[in-house]
Structure 1
């Protein structure tokens, strides 16, 4: 079935969206698991390296996503959207964008200031732009941990709204961002 590209986001934006979603949820679940483990234990240490690497990947994908988003056309919203649905969707998307930047930055700040590892998937280390400072490390960690609860709520709301649009409303909102094969693109 041919795809109506006038009602879909750009193919690159859709790919970045889904890559970001998978990596972000993986980082979120690893972070949650590590938060439940005693400090300094294995596999917590190793998983935190993966968590931080995923976070930095999400950060740079988010920059790319924002660049693609502002340079491509946004498909029109379904006419069935009431003003409240439209406002809630926009607010949720703004919150998601803020989270995609705030979580990696606060994680980086507290790792850097706390003297923790800044290795990227065991290959190289990110530069430390925040000097060793226990107060900054503590503030960054508290902020990162507090934001995590906000993340869970916003991501759950985003997923619930997507399911509601797909199953209850059947208004094509999910199809606007759903990945497609190249043969389905026009």
Structure 2
């Protein structure tokens, strides 16, 4: 089922959503894989550069996403949304937004304060805004690693809820965020 323009999110927001989803899952999988590898080894070092670059890309994409989200109309929720579903959806979306900002910021904090590379896709280095500080680096790393488990849970819940709405409820929830709208303009 495709949504029309009255029941779908703005086309730009839908595009940003799917770009964010792809980059987020790639960063998540790279981070998980690198966490399983011994420190200082190859390809861990190289993959962490990609992971961090994806994180910074996601931070700026999330800022853009939030601006577009605040500037555009939110389509009405499907009639199948009862109060518990509405509350659960809003809580999960809030958690995802917090994660989209917290993960790159905590990653940046521990990389900056820990003296690690701040290269962006091997092109330029982000400014080091935090002085070398083992305490800040450790706190940032612990927070980043702890939030990773929240990431796995929130993303799994979001995907499960999307599949439930698409396959079981068939209520058009997925169509609201699908990249193309019913009129072909999206």
The interval holding the TM-score normalised by the smaller chain is over 0.9
Match of 2:138 in 1: 138
Q: Which runs of 5+ in 2 are unaligned?
A: none
Match of 2:59 in 1: 59
Matches of 1:162 and 1:183, distance apart in 2: 22
Match of 1:68 in 2: 68
The CA RMSD measured in Å over matched residues stands at 1.5
Offset at 1:79?
A: 1.3
Match of 1:39 in 2: 39
Conserved? CA contact 1:3–1:185, under 8 Å: no
Higher relative contact order (CA 8 A, sep 6+): 2
Give the TM-score of the pair, scaled to structure 1.
0.97
Give the TM-score of the pair, scaled to structure 2.
0.97
Match of 1:158 in 2: 158
Offset at 1:2?
A: 8.0
Offset at 1:4?
A: 1.3
Match of 1:123 in 2: 123
Matches of 1:3 and 1:111, distance apart in 2: 43
| Equivalent pairs, count | 186
Conserved? CA contact 1:62–1:101, under 8 Å: yes
Offset at 1:185?
A: 1.9
4+ residue runs of structure 1 moved beyond 6 angstroms?
A: none
Q: 1:29-83: CA deviations, max 9, x gaps? A: 0000000000000000000000000000000000000000000000000112110
Q: 1:121-175: CA deviations, max 9, x gaps? A: 0000000111100010001000000000010000000000000000000000000
**Residues 105-116 of structure 1 correspond to what in structure 2 (within 5 A)?**
105-116=105-116
Offset at 1:89?
A: 0.2
Matches of 1:149 and 1:48, distance apart in 2: 18
Matches of 2:131 and 2:158, distance apart in 1: 36
3-state secondary structure, aligned to 2:19: helix
Match of 2:17 in 1: 17
Q: Which runs of 5+ in 1 are unaligned?
A: none
3-state secondary structure, aligned to 2:84: helix
